[in-house]
Structure 1
Amino acid sequence: MTYTAPSPHLPDPDRQPQFYQGVPARRLIAWVVDSLITLGLTLGAVLITAFVGVLIWPFLFLTLGFAYRVVTIANGSATWGMRFAGIELRDAAGQRLDLGQAVLHTLGFSLCFALPIFQLISVVLMLTGSRGQGLPDLFVNTVMLNRRATF
């Protein structure tokens, strides 16, 4: 992994801290909401398959969770949990994530959950970094921001 200088297109955490305030806690809220949504999708799949899906529960959970994250991030730069928590992902240019970036970010997210040491490192980075970036954010060069108010 290489170091990328902070982007002039993103809010500066020292001059505009309101974009980063409370983001780690909001990420936790978003993760809980997204996990519940994924659980609901998985339960729905189990019911649709007349309970045969129970035999492949972990596969269903991982596959549906991955697809849910990719689709929602690619279509709005935030999962439904992130939207509920009032946060969104932005790339180094300050733009919303496209499909390729959404896939890469979700892949990094999934790998962090598969390997607990990476998840621990990611959480520590989120809590200590000025921009609150986890490992997937550093890998894809994204940042989680408080959503701008839209009226």
Structure 2
Amino acid sequence: MPIDVKPHAYDPGTSPELFEGVLARRVLAFAIDFVVIAIPIVLAAMFIFAFGVVTLGIGWALYWILSPASVIWAICYFGATLGGPRSATIGMRMMDLEMRTWYGEPAYFVLGAMHAIAFWLTVSFFTPFILLVCFFNQRRRLLHDIILGTVVINNAARAQSLRMAGVHA
């Protein structure tokens, strides 16, 4: 059974507008996504606290579920948003970014969920200095992008506006 090896769909040499400013906007998108993920967790913690007060401390036993629920919530958030029709989290949408496979296809739920897991594992095991990998490759991919075969690029509207403005003409 032959394996169909596909070429890279996005070339920074021929389409630099796809990669223009992606790194800085990716950091801002991460911060936005962090807030989006944190809000329900903080609300749940406040509810558990209030429930504990009402039940004279018995309800505080629910705090044990907060940590695993946070992980599940984050994985589902990234899987659903990156695997959605726009292949972007809420933060990425606000920053006009999208994630694609290296051969140009949109992301899907499992890829989005694995992207989040791979990010947290690489940063946890290799320290945040692993994020410096993006400065040593043309497509500005991070280690977890390389491992999973993804690339984060400007969305079509932003790329077109950069092309029309002649940013790299």
Q: Give the shorter-chain TM-score range.
A: 0.7 to 0.9
Q: Give 1 or 2 for the bigger CA radius of gyration.
A: 2
Contact preservation (8 Å) 1:118, 1:135: no
Change in CA separation of 1:103 and 1:65 when aligned onto 2, cut-off 3 Å: closer
Residue 70 of structure 1 corresponds to 79
* Map 1:35-46 → 2, pairs under 5 A: 35-46=34-45
Matched, 1:31 2:30: yes
Q: What's the CA shift for 1:119?
A: 3.5
Give the TM-score normalised by the residue count of structure 1.
0.81
Query: Is the 2:33–2:91 contact (alpha carbons within 8 Å) kept by the matching residues of 1?
Result: yes
Residue 128 of structure 2 corresponds to 119
- Flag structure 2 segments of 5+ consecutive residues without an equivalent: 53-59, 159-169
What one-letter code is carried by the residue in structure 1 that aligns with 2:90?
W
- Computed over aligned residues only, the root mean square deviation of the Cα atoms, in angstroms, reads 2.3
When structure 1 is superposed on structure 2, of 63-72 and 139-148 the one drifting more is: 63-72
Whether 2:101 is the aligned partner of 1:108: answer: no
Identity of aligned residues (%): 24
- Tell me if structure 2 keeps the 8 A contact 1:34–1:80: yes
Residues 89-137 of structure 1: CA deviation (Å, up to 9, x unaligned) = 000221111122222212211212332x25322x111233210111111
Stretches of structure 1 lacking an aligned partner (at least 5 in a row): none
1:59 pairs with 2:72: no
Instruction: Output the TM-score relative to the length of structure 2.
Output: 0.74
Write the distance in 1 (CA, Å) between the matches of 2:24 and 2:63: 33
For the 8 Å contact 2:10–2:103, the answer to whether it is kept is no
Which residue number corresponds to residue 134 of structure 1? 142
